[in-house]
A and B are shown apart, each in its own frame.
Chain A
Amino acid sequence: MAKNVNNNYNYKSDFPILNQKIRGKPLVYLDSASTSQKPANVIASEKEFYEHYNANIHRGVHYLSEKATQMYEDAREKTAKFVEAKSEEIVFVRGATEGINLIAATFGEQNVKSGDTILITEMEHHSNLVPWQQLAARKKAKLEFVEINTDGTLNLNDAAAKLEKQPAIFSFTHVSNVLGTINPVEKLTKMAKKRGVSVVLDAAQSAPHLPLNFATIGADFAAFSGHKMLSPTGIGAVYGKREHLENMPPYQTGGHMIKTVTKQTATWNDVPWKFEAGTSNIAGAVGLGAAIEYLEKIGMKKVERYNAELVSYCLEELQKLPFVTIYGPLENRCGVVSFNVGDMHSHDVSSILDEEGIAIRSGHHCCQPLMETLGVTATCRASFHIYNTMEDVDKLVNGLKKCKKVFKL
């Protein structure tokens, strides 16, 4: 049986959506790495914004516009503090995908030349692969991959060897969305910086669970999504060192991002607004601010510890099932547990669990090249956040036993 480790407080009650039955069973949500659920204070913050403060930001001189601008910029400040960065280094975007596209289309476009190499890893999500692949094709550059070890960790010797050849950019994920591997970010960044290589960090899976300090990590850029860290969808952030943001061309052009416009020319706004063309997702940013407040009230150290406890309990219990294969390292991992059940396809597992009110993800998790490396077409993935309990893991285990029965494994 599950032990209670979470200081007797059940965060589940803060998340209205979890208080419902799915197919007659209480919902067990194990798909947070895809998108997390939202606490009541986040939902209330968006509602409050639209009911009391909605107006366009930055240009209005009326009360509501000033208020909305202040709320939007407060959210930026909270986001910056959350990752130990400065406000002007935080650009609001739709999410990590748009963030990495922004970096590739501006800094990448400017700094990658024909014959250069862009280095990523075999464990990247498509969002940190396809933008670089397309940039490489445009520039006639080469895309190279740091290999992974059989235990699902990154091969650091291979990373060192490939960094030795001085690629133009090294972009890698902090935490794998399939293997759960926590990469040694500071070490990798140091290795890259020693060779003068620019570093981009995909923090989509780490921002929800780990205390982040972009200043200490030392990467040139990072990107993360709000919706995986309890905030609404459609909001996320790019972190960029100020000197880079200053020197980069804009991503999109139009309103908000300009200083002056004549019929034939335009000059750009200061950073970070230079990268925020058009009307931003203002309510979303306010929601992100509320999510950060919620997480910080618990404390990211505690969020990290609790997640680690859930993940290791899940690993422990799944290892007891001889018909289950687990992917990824058994320690130093975060957020997700990927596995397969006998000769079952992950969709069939997911369908059977769904009948029990259990939501997991199945398929290739936007990591087709990684699936190829692992030699599978798909996996099941259970992922956790603060609202999950040890009891959820027990229910998952029971669900998997049902799969075994139905498929006569």
Chain B
Amino acid sequence: MSMYQSRDVEVKVDGIWLEREAARERKEEKERAFLGFFRKLFKHKGAVIGAVIIFIFVFMAVLAPWLSPYSYDSPDISSVLQAPSLNHVFGTDEFGRDIFSRIVHGSRISLEVAFIAVGFSLVIGTVLGAIAGYYGGVVDYVISSITDIAWSFPTTLLAIAFIAAMGSGLQNVIIAIALASWAGYCRVVRGQFLSLKQREFIEAARILGMSDARIIFRHILPNALTPVVVMATLELPKAIVIEASLSFLGLGAQPPQPSWGVILDSGKGLLGQAPWVSFFPGLMIMLVVLGFNLFGDALRDVLDPNS
């Protein structure tokens, strides 16, 4: 025993110095880790472009009433189907409504639907995946089978089927997208849980008498979230496209709601005489999808040390 006593005395003597040193190191390490992530992200061209695009659209959605020069739904007979000009940068539609104003307001619908739907599907998928992966056995079999069935349907088809049954409207679009896309998260999270639950620190948590719920949500889940975050970023543009498609088909947002899908649809008969009616909402959909995809890919590159 005495052999190690001397060491402890030494430690105490050097305590103040060590303490200061350790605090400094910790601070540095924290900063390094934090900065490292952002530095890597900033060096990544895709991340920067994606982030800028996403930022512009979020900005647009938040400040829609202030950004739009005209009302998005009151018709103006005096300026029907005008080509893009200084007065109407994106032109006007067959009721004389300013396309730019409609698109700005439409970004609200797109982002809102996408974020809420992805949020729901993420929660559903994560919880089911966690339960399946953690408990295994019959529970896993049942959940995995349902997942496989949900996974085997094309997302859009499933969403259309749901809306056909439940009726159109944005609320049903959100539910439909959530129900059609949770399977991916479920699989990813299940896989993560399968490997994480074997790890020693989980065994240790069990040995220390932690409850199952605590182990699942507090000990394993935070370790399993990285791929889920990446996946959610890449699911957002898909949700935007599905919302636009459903609205285009008349199953989602109903006119005069300015969903991009609705605007696109309203211009499809006028492609010859007024192509700008369809062109600009299409361009917006493409841009926002590009932004999220670039950012999501970059996020995966930065967060996944294997890539």
Q: Do A and B bind each other?
A: no
Using a CB–CB cutoff of 8 Å, the interface residues on chain B facing chain A are: none
Using a CB–CB cutoff of 8 Å, the interface residues on chain A facing chain B are: none
